[in-house]
Amino acid sequence: MNVTLRQLSYLVALAEERHFGRAAERVHVSQPALSTQIRELEDRLGAALVDRSDRAVRLTPAGDEVLASSRRIMAEVERMEAAARWQDGLVGRLKLGMIPTVAPYLLPQALARIRTRAQGLDLRLREAQTEVLLDALADGGLDAAVIALPAGRPGLVEEPLFTDHFVLAAAAGQVTEMRSVGAVPRPGDLDPTRLLLLDEGHCLADQALDVCNTSRGATQVDLGASSLPTLCGLVAAGYGQTLLPEIAVGAEAAAAPRMGVIRFPEPQPARVVGLVRRDLGGPDGWFRVLAEILAEAGEAQRAKAAVAGV
């Protein structure tokens, strides 16, 4: 029996998960099936690859060598598949991830354009926080992802899509007063005890803290909001203030009429929303076309902020 790509992929999963059960779950097989394939790989190579002397899963020196070779082989296979898969452009199945503070606002605009320009595309979407999406990219579970740049990881191709400014969201009465007296605070002047943030793990929360030059410990209102609509509802009810991405203004201002939004003085704080993929080489025309579509959708969504009076 020859060594198979499946066996090599199982060894990579086991080495990275350090646990037979988690590795089996990752590659979508039962634990006995994964163990059997690892045993068959060891028999074929004539060497023990996994040290089973205690409960911890560790590779033997031979296992470490086979792991390095396995990763090189799997990377070449991915490059080969990508070259064949995308040679005709943006067609076939595409697994795309988006962060939660972009997906609800960008997707409606993007999907309409995709239907027009890429009718042969079978789009599969996943919404998750940045680190989850980057892990999925690394594992091959996603082809591309929309996140805030920079990604902060090597081995990725990054394409900026649009600049998404942050605006101040507060109770409508507070915003009306700011406009009347012309006293819009700068982000660093906001009262941290009134600053509402998303749960930890959302990159938008980290960006807000950085923009406002404060820390999560300085904020005294911790309501654990897991989405921007929840956060905006709390702002509208007078529980505090928050930084709202420009692409979300149109939808959230309409959904929370008691919330007001106002731009910060120049230079306005902002994030760069971009598209990332693994750097596998091969044709990238599909990536450029997708980036163009998403960039157009982002600019169209940002324009809705002006309609909302911002």
Name the pLDDT band for 213 (thresholds 50, 70, 90).
low
Name which of 291, 250, 309 is nearest 110 in CA terms.
Answer: 291
Mean pLDDT on 142-158: 92
CB atoms within 10 A of CB 52: 12
The predicted structure's pLDDT at residue 225: 62
CB 140 within 8 A of CB 110: no
Give the chain's length. Answer: 310
> What is the reported pTM?
0.72
Average the pLDDT over each of 177-181, 206-210, 276-280 and give the range with the smallest value. 206-210
Name the pLDDT band for 197 (thresholds 50, 70, 90).
confident
Concatenated DSSP letters for 87-146? TTSS-EEEEEEE-TTTHHHHHHHHHHHHHHH-TTEEEEEEE--HHHHHHHHHHTS-SEEE
The predicted structure's pLDDT at residue 271: 92
Mean pLDDT on 133-159: 91
The predicted structure's pLDDT at residue 183: 79
Better pLDDT: 122 or 213: 122
Concatenated DSSP letters for 203-268? HHHHHHHHHTT--GGG------B-SHHHHHHHHHTTS-BEEEEHHHHHHHHHH-TTEEEEEPSSSP
Average the pLDDT over each of 29-33, 122-126, 137-141, 251-255 and give the range with the smallest value. 137-141
Contacts of 69 (CB under 8 A, 6+ apart): none
Q: What is the mean pLDDT of the chain?
A: 85
CB 280 within 8 A of CB 82: yes
d(CA 53, CA 183) in angstroms, rounded, equals 69
Strands 121-127 and 92-98: parallel
Better pLDDT: 71 or 110: 110
Domains identified in the chain and CATH numbers: 5-85 (1.10.10.10), 90-310 (3.40.190.290)
The predicted structure's pLDDT at residue 71: 85
The predicted structure's pLDDT at residue 104: 94
The predicted structure's pLDDT at residue 63: 92
Hey, is 188 helix, strand or coil? helix
Q: Is a pLDDT exceeding 70 seen at residue 282?
A: no
Interval 44-74: pLDDT, tens: 999 999 988 777 789 999 999 999 999 888 8
Name the pLDDT band for 76 (thresholds 50, 70, 90).
confident
CB atoms within 10 A of CB 62: 15
The predicted structure's pLDDT at residue 220: 45
Tokens of 232: 């905006």
Q: Is a pLDDT exceeding 90 seen at residue 295?
A: yes
Interval 214-259: pLDDT, tens: 655 554 455 556 788 988 999 999 988 888 999 999 999 899 899 9
Mean pLDDT on 144-172: 93
Interval 25-50: pLDDT, tens: 988 899 999 999 999 999 999 999 99
CB atoms within 10 A of CB 273: 25
d(CA 287, CA 144) in angstroms, rounded, equals 8
- Which residue shows structure tokens 């991915």? 78
Angle at 118 between CA 116 and CA 119, to 5 degrees: 75
Tokens of 291: 């980036």
Q: Which sign does the torsion angle of CA 217, 221, 226, 227 carry? A: negative
